[in-house]
């Protein structure tokens, strides 16, 4: 089975998407040919798109941008569509792992609809995937401690997905939140993310809260 694993985060540095894809790969049985690809800010060259079109499975990982797909991924999908139609890829299955900054993974539902519609247009099977909320916490943790930590449900969903991928079986969509209360998420985000970021950029809380 040839599997294309695409990280479509436009971030040039380490991405939360990458951490989730690494965790998924750890659970895919040995013996499959996995082609890992980082999209970056531009689309792939035509030769790479043609290679992807000959794979059996595509797993696209990406961050939610304004309730939808980042524009680099959108451009790539438009270009890939032609290659897929030329290859007659009716047996190909496409899964998505989408992570978003807000707490609720369900925020990714419109992006999943976009992927699903694109699959119908490109003539490939939509396999579902995972919509994960609280994505920036994954990056803060640096390493994915899925089994026991805040993302244990995610770990289980990744294992289920990894077992279905070699069969090309549709798995449905799992929307997941971090395993701790929403108010704590707000507190941690304010104190460990937004305020330090504001300070780093030379802003004081007073200035942020002041009227324009
Ligand atoms: C331009 C931009 C738009 C974003 N839009 C949303 C959004 O609509 N909803 C949301 O929950 N998070 C949004 N986010 C947050 C990202 O989805 C989140 O930080 C994600 O974990 C980044 O993943 P990455 O490290 O793989 O790029 C946005 C981030 C950026 C930079």
| Residues 81, 122 contacting (CB under 8 angstroms) | yes
Looking from the CA of residue 10, the nearest atom of ligand 1 is 27
- pLDDT tens per residue across all 212 residues of the chain: 999 999 999 998 889 999 999 999 999 999 999 999 999 888 899 999 999 999 999 999 999 999 999 999 999 999 999 999 888 777 899 999 999 999 999 999 999 999 999 999 999 999 999 999 999 888 877 666 665 678 889 999 999 999 999 888 899 999 999 988 899 888 888 888 788 888 899 988 777 777 76
Give the closest residue (by CA) to ligand 1 atom 27: 9
Supply the pLDDT for residue 137: 85
| Residues 23, 61 contacting (CB under 8 angstroms) | no
CA of 91 to the centre of ligand 1 (A): 32
Looking from the CA of residue 68, the nearest atom of ligand 1 is 8
Pocket of ligand 1, candidates 101, 109, 130: which has the most ligand atoms within 8 Å of its Cβ, to mutate? 101
Looking from the CA of residue 62, the nearest atom of ligand 1 is 26
What residues form DSSP beta bridges with 68? Answer: 65
Q: Which residues line ligand 1 (CB under 6 A)?
A: 9, 11, 15-17, 63-67, 99-102, 107, 135-136, 139
Supply the pLDDT for residue 146: 65
Which residue in 210, 157, 149 sits closest to 178, CA to CA? 149
Q: What is the dihedral of CA 53, 55, 58, 59, to 10 degrees?
A: -140
CA angle, 125 then 115 then 156, to 5°: 80
Which of 63-96 are b and which e, b meaning 16 or more Cβ less than 10 Å from the residue's Cβ? Answer: bbbeeebbebbbbbbeebbebbeebebeebbbbb
Give the closest residue (by CA) to ligand 1 atom 3: 65
Q: What is the pTM (predicted TM-score) of this model?
A: 0.92
CA of 51 to the centre of ligand 1 (A): 29
Supply the pLDDT for residue 195: 86
CA distances from residue 150 to 133, 147, 174, 181 in whole angstroms, order as listed: 11, 9, 16, 10
Which residue in 60, 49, 68, 31 sits closest to 161, CA to CA? 60
CATH 3.30.870.10 fits 2-180, yes or no: no
Under DSSP, the state recorded for 44 is P
CB atoms within 10 A of CB 143: 10
Break the chain into its structural domains and give their ranges.
2-180, 181-212
Supply the pLDDT for residue 79: 95
Supply the pLDDT for residue 143: 67
Token readout for 45 is: 């060259």
What's the rounded Cα separation, in Å, for the pair 135 and 195? 18
Pocket of ligand 1, candidates 135, 142, 177, 189: which has the most ligand atoms within 8 Å of its Cβ, to mutate? 135
CA of 178 to the centre of ligand 1 (A): 16
Looking from the CA of residue 107, the nearest atom of ligand 1 is 11
What's the rounded Cα separation, in Å, for the pair 97 and 63? 9
What's the rounded Cα separation, in Å, for the pair 156 and 154? 5
Supply the pLDDT for residue 123: 94
């Amino acid at each position: 089975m040839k599997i294309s694993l695409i990280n479509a985060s436009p971030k040039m540095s380490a991405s939360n998407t990458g951490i989730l894809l690494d965790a998924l790969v750890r659970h895919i049985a040995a013996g499959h040919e996995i082609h890992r690809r980082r999209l970056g800010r531009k689309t792939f060259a035509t030769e790479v798109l043609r290679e992807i079109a000959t794979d059996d499975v595509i797993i696209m990982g990406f961050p939610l941008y304004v309730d939808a797909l980042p524009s680099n991924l959108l451009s790539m999908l438009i270009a890939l569509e032609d290659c897929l139609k030329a290859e007659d890829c009716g047996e190909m299955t496409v899964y998505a792992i989408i992570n978003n900054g807000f707490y609720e993974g369900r925020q990714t539902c419109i992006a999943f609809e976009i992927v699903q519609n694109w699959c119908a247009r490109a003539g490939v099977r939509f396999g579902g995937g995972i919509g994960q909320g609280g994505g920036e916490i994954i990056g803060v943790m640096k390493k994915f401690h899925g089994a026991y930590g805040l993302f244990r449900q995610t770990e289980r969903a990744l294992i289920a997905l990894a077992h279905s991928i070699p069969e090309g079986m549709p798995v449905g969509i799992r929307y997941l939140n971090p395993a701790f209360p929403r108010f704590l998420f707000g507190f941690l985000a304010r104190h460990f993310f937004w305020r330090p970021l504001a300070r780093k950029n030379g802003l004081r809380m007073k200035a942020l809260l002041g009227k324009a």
